[in-house]
Amino acid sequence: MANVLMGFPNLADGADASFSGGDWETTLPLTNLQDGRLTRVARSITDALADTQFDVDYGIAEWVRVFAFVKHNLSRYAAVRFRGSATAGDFSSPVYDSGWLDAWPITAPLYVPPVGDPSWLDGRMSPREAAGYNLSVIHVADQQWAATYWRIEISDVGNADGYVEVGRLVMAPGWQSTINMSQGAKLGMATETTVQTSDAGPRYFNVQPQRRIVAFTIQHLDEDEALTEPFEMQRQLGLDGQFLFVWDPDDGWQAFRRSFLATLRELTPLEAATAFLFDAAFAAEEVL
């Protein structure tokens, strides 16, 4: 198991990030990818590859390790690719190339689910199970890569909607702590659903969406790491700033379930375990 990783700040949100390329609805443009509200989507005119790719120009070389499309309509066999370059418009010799990646979550080994299950032949999460998630494409590179220009390609020809739609783009450096989460880290679900019981006995529910939550502590960080990473993370993000939470960058079948776009649930002071070592506690919840 690799140490926990948190991707922030989201460089794609920066004022200097410039989007171009592809063919996108004028009322649902690429700049919607910078909006923290996942309902403000970017939508391509068609599902042709020429329409669904785009470039991001950061103006200067930016270090990136984590990439994500959050809340998308990509179909079961769609693929995505991320490439970085030092030359505008030229990705023939990229600084970084993720290669083509599965857009749909792979959550089981081949032939392990029961025969007849939609996941049996390919390991992809079944459409019924996927309906309960904000579908996301999450890619963690082997290290941080610096490039000024990035090309993002989406291959989903034959999408049933006739277009591709994405709610959020995340491109961020990643803080992977030198010490992993302490024993007792928690991963679960939370909801604002309320219940009332009538005098006659039946219970009535005001059903609200469920979201993933996580809570953990990283103990005995040296003061330089504690102040430049978790302290700065809380200062920069507050409670409204978004980051990409990755439980285990080396995750296999469970990667999709344990990685998600998140906000902090509370701001927790660093605790001095010794004169030079600090404990950092985190509580975060999924962005819906």
**pLDDT, tens digit (0-9, with 9 covering 90-100), for 259-288:** 999 999 999 999 999 989 999 999 999 999
**For 67-122, how does the pLDDT look when each residue is reduced to its tens digit (9 = 90+)?**
999 999 999 899 999 999 999 999 999 999 999 999 988 777 665 666 656 666 67
Residues 6+ apart with CB under 8 A from 215: 185, 186, 281, 282, 283, 284
If asked whether residues 131 and 43 sit together in one domain, one would say: yes
How many structural domains is the chain composed of? 2
Give the pLDDT score at 120: 60
- The runs of H, that is alpha helices, within the chain are 49-52, 127-130, 223-228, 230-237
Q: What is the pLDDT at residue 182?
A: 96
β-bridge mates for residue 155, sequence order: 79
> What's the confidence (pLDDT) of residue 116?
59
Assess whether pLDDT exceeds 90 at residue 254. Answer: no
CATH number for the domain spanning 146: value is: 2.60.120.260
Structure tokens at 249: 């960058």
Q: Are residues 140 and 247 in the same domain?
A: no
Its domain, for residue 14, covers 5-176
- Cβ–Cβ under 8 Å, residues 138 and 121: no
Q: Are residues 97 and 196 in the same domain?
A: no
pLDDT band with cut points at 50, 70 and 90 for residue 211: very high
Asked whether residue 210 falls in the same domain as residue 147, the answer is no
Residue 110's pLDDT is what?
Answer: 60
172, 190: one domain: no
Asked if residue 125 is part of any domain, the answer here is: yes
Considering the domain architecture, whether residues 24 and 151 belong to the same structural domain is answered as yes
**What is the pLDDT of the chain when averaged over all its residues?**
93
User: Can you tell me the distance from the alpha carbon of 219 to that of 80, in angstroms, rounded to the nearest whole number?
Assistant: 37
- pLDDT value at position 90? 94
Is there a single domain that holds both residue 51 and residue 104? yes
Examine the fold and report which residue of 176, 205, 226 is the final residue of a domain before the chain moves on. 176
Q: Is 123 contained in some domain?
A: yes
* Closest by CA position to 174, among listed 4, 2, 1: 4
Residue 252 placed within a domain: yes
**Do residue 98 and residue 226 come from a single domain?**
no
Last residue of a domain, one of 152, 176, 200: 176
Output the pLDDT for position 178.
95
Q: Which residue has the higher pLDDT, 226 or 121?
A: 226
Three-state SS across 230-282?
HHHHHHHHCCCCCEEEECCCCCCCCCCCCEEEEEECCCCCCEECCCCEEEEEE
* Whether 22 and 163 share a structural domain: yes
- Residue 181 counted as domain residue: no
Looking at the fold, whether 195 and 91 belong to one and the same domain comes out as no
User: What's the rounded Cα separation, in Å, for the pair 38 and 258?
Assistant: 19
Q: How do beta strands 186-191 and 174-176 pair?
A: unpaired
Is residue 145 within 8 A of residue 65, CB to CB? The reply is yes
Q: Per the domain annotation, does 195 fall within a domain? A: yes
Two tokens, residue 239: 């409670």
| Same domain (yes/no): 200, 162 | no
Of 157, 176, 195, the residue that ends a domain is 176
Assess whether 191 and 155 both reside in one domain: no
